[in-house]
Structure 1
Amino acid sequence: MVRLRVVDEDGRSSAQRGQDLHRARDRDEARENLAAVLAPLREAQRCVEAAVAKPGRATPSDQVFDLLDRAYAALDLYLADLLNEAAIDPACGPRCSACCTDLPPILPIEALRMVRSLRAQEGGPARLQRAVEQARAFQRVLLAHTGPQPKLDGTEPGYREAQLAWRRLGHPCPVLGDDGNCSAYEARPLSCRAHVHVEDPAHCEPNSPRFLIAERPPVWGHPRECEVELALATISKLLELPAAPNLQWGLALFLTPT
């Protein structure tokens, strides 16, 4: 059971939590756990490279998706170990969807993997269509904040303003179920997996006075961890998959069979 905890309840500052996470990821066990994430990703990359070398347009095989499943399962273990070792109890728990009005970044192969998962579900096509509608709606919001040629970069001020404006509209993620659970939980992207909040979930809401300053421990971003993103980006590039700035947009791109 996840225990809710507000920031500084244990007497640590955000900087101290960051230091504890740094020590946690420098342990031999953490390095081994991260290696277990990278190994199937690199094997998947080799499989894709072999497919690309053959005539015709390469598409990811079932073996590639199986390897990706292994990598993400290992990633969950890696992140759980870091949080446990750093004694960080996330406020996030089952059916906590307070952050699920956001536009999480997604890599192309992750978007394709989510679409594949949703297509296999009874209600998946409807959720994918909802993603298309949300992507179009966000594009209109983005246009209002950035002009006709926006930079699709989450670090750009105009994009960030549009993202915040979108969150204030309160649209739930297209894959969020009526019960508050993610309908594509096993296929969710890295950005969702690494999003950890330690304050009251109410502070994830845009109308909270702590929304912009609430603590989200830095459980991701170390140079060794960035190798995971590089591997996923390389697989995406080899497959010539189009990029998208966020989950909704990415799902819309891959709605048609690939």
Structure 2
Amino acid sequence: MVRLRVVDEDGRSSAQRGQDLHRARDRDEARANLAAVLTPLREAQRGIEAAIAKGHKPAPSEQMWTLLDRAYEALDTYLADLLNEAAIDPACGPRCSACCTDLPPILPIEALRMARSLRRQDQGQARLQRAVEQARAFRQVLLAHTGPQPKLDGTEPGYREAQLAWRRLGHPCPVLGDDGSCSAYEARPLSCRAHVHIEDPAHCEPDSPRFLIAERPPVWGHPRECEVELALAAISKLLELPQAPNLQWGLAGFI
């Protein structure tokens, strides 16, 4: 019988790992790394506001995309530093796609950024069409759990039940490549970047007995970090982008 790995090797509890992460993000270096994420996002926001003030229709510019690229590169640096400082070793490795049957939340500007990345690929349009098909299929699952007027809110019990039911169907993410790698990795959203699993990847599967209780360290969610989400939401609102509850739904809106 294969023994699935349960994280206990370093003697820390999940609460202790959470405390270590809290100390890690309170360092001056971590604060500076987070500021490096926020600075280009706020510059992008100001650029859009300036264009609107001049009477231009709100639209993404090449400068905005460059600033967003810079922000997400800084975000990766910030998260990697937290994990390193808190001595947290993710179990996720190259081409690990154990969690890629989920419906990760996404902000509108992130969905547009992913769609833009996919359109530049040979198989991109097919992946966008797959997102449309999955969004339609998930809507049916959602209706079965919530009724005719579902709330597209990941905190709603009905939505969470539908999300779990969807995961049990095992549909791979529409942007997942045949080799298990993400075809839009550089453009993946914040929720994917901050999803860290430190137990055996098999526990990411819904049929694992530890699926609901396996440890996922809280590498995101501090009020300072939430400023990043607020900045991305502000950019989305300025560009008048449609809201979406998850990655599949978000991509479907930009096909």
Instruction: List aligned pairs for 1:84-103, cutoff 5 A.
Output: 84-103=84-103
Letter of the aligned partner of 2:235 in structure 1?
Answer: I
* 1:74 equivalenced with 2:100 (yes/no): no
Which residue of structure 1 aligns with residue 104 of structure 2?
A: 104
Corresponding residue for 2:61?
A: 61
Q: Separation in 2 of the partners of 1:215 and 1:124?
A: 34
- Count of equivalent residues: 252
Is 1:233 the counterpart of 2:237? The answer is: no
The answer for the alignment partner of 1:37 in structure 2 is 37
Q: TM-score, normalised by structure 2?
A: 0.97
State TM-score, norm by structure 1.
0.96
2-side partners of 1:186 and 1:244: how far apart?
Answer: 20
Unaligned residue ranges in structure 2 (runs of 5+): none
CA contact 1:5–1:200 (8 Å) conserved in 2: yes
Deviations 1:104-145 (A, max 9, x none): 000000000000000011110000000000000000000110
Amino acid at match of 2:81: D
- Other-structure match for 2:138: 138
Q: CA deviation at 1:175?
A: 0.1
Aligned to 2:213: 213
Deviation at 1:54, TM superposition (A): 3.3
Distance in 1, matches of 2:150 and 2:23, equals: 39
For residues 20 and 111 of structure 1, the distance between their equivalents in structure 2, rounded to whole angstroms, comes to: 32
CA distance in 1, matches of 2:134, 2:57: 30
| 2-structure distance, mates of 1:27, 1:61 | 35
Which amino acid letter does the alignment assign opposite residue 240 of structure 1?
E
Indicate the residue corresponding to 2:50 in structure 1: 50
Residue 83 of structure 2: aligned partner: 83
**Cα offset for 1:71?**
0.1
- Asked if the contact 1:175/1:183 (under 8 Å) is kept, the reply is yes
Q: CA offset at residue 5 of structure 1?
A: 6.4
Partner residue in 1 for 2:242 = 242
Q: 1:171 to 1:124 in 2, by over 3 A?
A: same
AA aligned to 1:237 is K
Q: Give yes or no for contact 1:152–1:245 (8 Å, CA) kept in 2.
A: yes
Q: How far 1:254 sits from its partner (Å)?
A: 1.1
Deviation at 1:57, TM superposition (A): 2.6
Aligned to 2:254: 254
Deviations 1:216-254 (A, max 9, x none): 000000000000000000000111111000000000011
Tell me by how many angstroms 1:68 deviates. 0.2
Q: 1:75 to 1:5 in 2, by over 3 A?
A: farther
1:201 matched residue in structure 2: 201
Report the AA paired with residue 243 of structure 2. A
79-88 vs 51-60, which moves further = 51-60
Residue 185 of structure 1 deviates from its aligned partner by: 0.2
The sequence identity of aligned pairs, in percent, is 88
In the alignment, the residues of structure 1 paired with residue 253 and residue 236 of structure 2 have an alpha-carbon distance, to the nearest angstrom, of 14
Q: Is the 8 A contact 1:5 1:198 kept in 2?
A: no
- Quick one: distance in 2 between partners of 1:238 and 1:9? 48
